[in-house]
């Protein structure tokens, strides 16, 4: 049985996800709510990140902040991929200057047995409540996107206990202890799938699976050790809904075909590959999202327009393109440059239609 959603007044994003015609290219931006905005920093002076995420009214407020400043075609719920691991008992802390750290990493079968899986509708109820609150604030004007980290990226954090350049501990488990790897990835796939289903049931209009660290893998390793678990997530979501499912990984040019094959109805593309080459790899009829270098927003306005125009020119007005950055907005970005980009994408693509 598929969950039905109400079509928002501005449905450009949803139409592009289905490769339908649009009056201009839709745009939303990863990390569009966050540290580059003065309004967000004002809240961060009063609350920790986890307090903001776990307080539905605050999470909804942060989600709405960029929508008051920019003519974006979709909102994305303010949350973090790592709260799912925290709620499994790994003990998440954010350390200034270091980032997220887990006090209870998973490196043995005993560690795995200490994990405490619960239905995400219970363990992550605060994000589901934030979705309800945000939908009330949106008043059906634009779509709301839900998301989760993918099993591989979550497993990397769970095993390493923090971020890493090359994830040696995670890959060691992957290569040397296939039973532990399968158990951990299976548990995470089920949790992620159930979490996305719960977000769909809460009313989001689309979901995105972030596999932030999948680019660290060879195509062979991705296919063998990761793809089955992302497919498991996708199958859970498709069993309850046919809404757009975006699958995104950074540094993924070498495994883009595999990313597309694993999951999703829309494939996210980072800036390390030309978007027309990405479409050749995954198929010209597959909707794509991307792919401006986030740091282009640190340049002058004319350079931003030149680079954004090049992305739009490469797509050549074909249906099925959602404009986005190739990763999240950098924290030092001037909000005025974000407005320049959003307005330019709409205006330029409308002229080209």
pLDDT tens, position by position, 193-241: 999 999 999 999 999 999 999 999 999 999 999 999 999 999 999 999 9
Active site residue 80: yes
Q: Which of 31, 54, 107, 232 is catalytic?
A: 31
Partner residues linked to 322 by β-bridges: 289
Q: pLDDT value at position 5?
A: 67
Q: What is the CA radius of gyration of the chain?
A: 19
pLDDT of residue 4 exceeding 80, the answer is: no
pLDDT tens per residue, range 37-49 = 999 999 999 999 9
Burial category of 129 from C-beta neighbours within 10 Å (exposed 0-12, middle 13-18, buried 19 and up): middle
pLDDT of residue 344 exceeding 70, the answer is: yes
Q: pLDDT value at position 76?
A: 98
Listed in sequence order, the residues at least 6 apart from 226 whose beta carbon sits closer than 8 Å to its beta carbon are 151, 152, 185, 211, 214, 217, 262
Q: Phi first, then psi: give them for residue 76, nearest 5 degrees.
A: -130, 130
Return d(Cα 185, Cα 97) in angstroms, integer: 29
Burial category of 196 from C-beta neighbours within 10 Å (exposed 0-12, middle 13-18, buried 19 and up): buried
Side-chain-side CA neighbours of 78 within 13 Å: the count stands at 27
> For strand 99-102 and strand 92-95, is the pairing parallel, antiparallel, or unpaired?
antiparallel
Return d(Cα 105, Cα 82) in angstroms, integer: 13
Q: Which of 11, 80, 86, 270 is catalytic?
A: 80
Active site residue 157: yes
Give the residue-averaged pLDDT of 149-163. Answer: 94
Altogether, the residues listed in the chain come to a count of 353
Give the residue-averaged pLDDT of 92-107. Answer: 87
What is the residue whose two structure tokens read 């995470």? 188
Active site residue 279: no
DSSP-derived 3-state class of residue 336: helix
pLDDT of residue 63 exceeding 50, the answer is: yes
Backbone φ/ψ region at 217: left (φ over 0), alpha (ψ -120 to 50), beta: beta
Active site residue 35: yes
Strands annotated E in 223-269: 245-248, 266-268
Give the pair of three-digit tokens for residue 13: 């994003």
Rounded percentage of the chain residues whose pLDDT exceeds 90: 91
- Confidence category of residue 6, pLDDT binned at 50, 70, 90: confident
pLDDT tens per residue, range 291-338 = 999 999 999 999 999 999 999 999 988 999 999 999 999 999 999 999
> For strand 206-210 and strand 144-149, is the pairing parallel, antiparallel, or unpaired?
parallel
What are the C-alpha distances in Å from 62 to residues 26, 40, 135?
Answer: 21, 7, 13
Q: Which of 152, 157, 234, 348 is catalytic?
A: 157
- Confidence category of residue 84, pLDDT binned at 50, 70, 90: very high
Give the pair of three-digit tokens for residue 151: 């099993």
Average pLDDT, rounded, for the chain: 95
Give the pair of three-digit tokens for residue 191: 């949790």
Of 252, 297, 295, 296, residue with least CA distance to 275: 252
Give the pair of three-digit tokens for residue 261: 């094959």
Helix residue ranges per DSSP H, 250-334: 256-262, 275-282, 301-315
- Confidence category of residue 99, pLDDT binned at 50, 70, 90: confident
Rounded percentage of the chain residues whose pLDDT exceeds 70: 98
Q: pLDDT value at position 1?
A: 38
pLDDT of residue 165 exceeding 90, the answer is: no
Active site residue 15: no
What are the C-alpha distances in Å from 330 to residues 13, 94, 294?
Answer: 23, 18, 7
Query: What is the model's pTM?
Result: 0.96
Q: Which CATH architecture has domain 12-352?
A: Alpha-Beta Barrel (3.20)
């Amino acid at each position: 049985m598929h969950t039905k959603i109400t079509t928002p007044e501005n449905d450009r994003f949803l139409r592009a996800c289905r490769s339908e015609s649009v009056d201009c290219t839709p745009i939303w931006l990863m990390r569009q709510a966050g540290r580059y905005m003065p309004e967000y920093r004002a809240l961060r002076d009063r609350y920790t990140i986890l307090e903001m995420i776990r307080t539905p009214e605050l999470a909804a407020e942060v989600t709405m902040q960029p929508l008051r400043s920019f003519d974006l075609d979709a909102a994305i719920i303010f949350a973090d991929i790592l709260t799912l691991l925290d709620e499994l008992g790994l003990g998440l802390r954010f350390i200034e200057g270091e980032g997220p750290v887990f006090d209870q990493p998973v490196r043995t079968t005993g560690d795995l047995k200490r994990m405490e899986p619960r239905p995400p509708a219970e363990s992550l109820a605060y994000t589901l409540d934030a979705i309800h609150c945000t939908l009330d604030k949106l008043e059906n004007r634009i779509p709301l996107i839900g998301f989760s980290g993918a099993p591989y990226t979550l497993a990397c954090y769970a095993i390493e206990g923090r971020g890493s350049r090359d994830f040696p501990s995670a890959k060691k488990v992957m290569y040397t202890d296939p039973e532990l790897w399968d158990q951990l990835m299976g548990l995470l796939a089920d949790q992620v799938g159930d979490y996305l289903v719960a977000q769909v049931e809460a009313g989001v209009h689309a979901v995105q699976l972030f596999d932030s660290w999948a680019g660290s893998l060879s195509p062979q390793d991705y296919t063998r050790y990761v793809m089955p678990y992302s497919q498991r997530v996708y199958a859970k979501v498709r069993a309850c809904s046919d809404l757009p499912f975006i699958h995104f990984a950074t540094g993924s040019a070498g495994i883009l075909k595999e990313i597309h094959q694993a999951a999703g109805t829309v494939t996210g593309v980072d800036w390390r590959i030309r978007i027309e080459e990405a479409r050749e790899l995954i198929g010209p009829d597959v909707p794509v999202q991307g792919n401006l270098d986030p740091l282009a927003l640190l340049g002058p306005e004319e350079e931003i327009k030149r680079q954004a125009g090049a992305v739009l020119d490469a797509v050549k007005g074909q249906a099925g393109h959602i404009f986005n950055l190739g990763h999240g907005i950098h924290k030092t970005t001037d909000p005025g440059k974000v407005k320049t980009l959003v307005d330019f994408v709409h205006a330029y693509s409308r002229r080209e239609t």
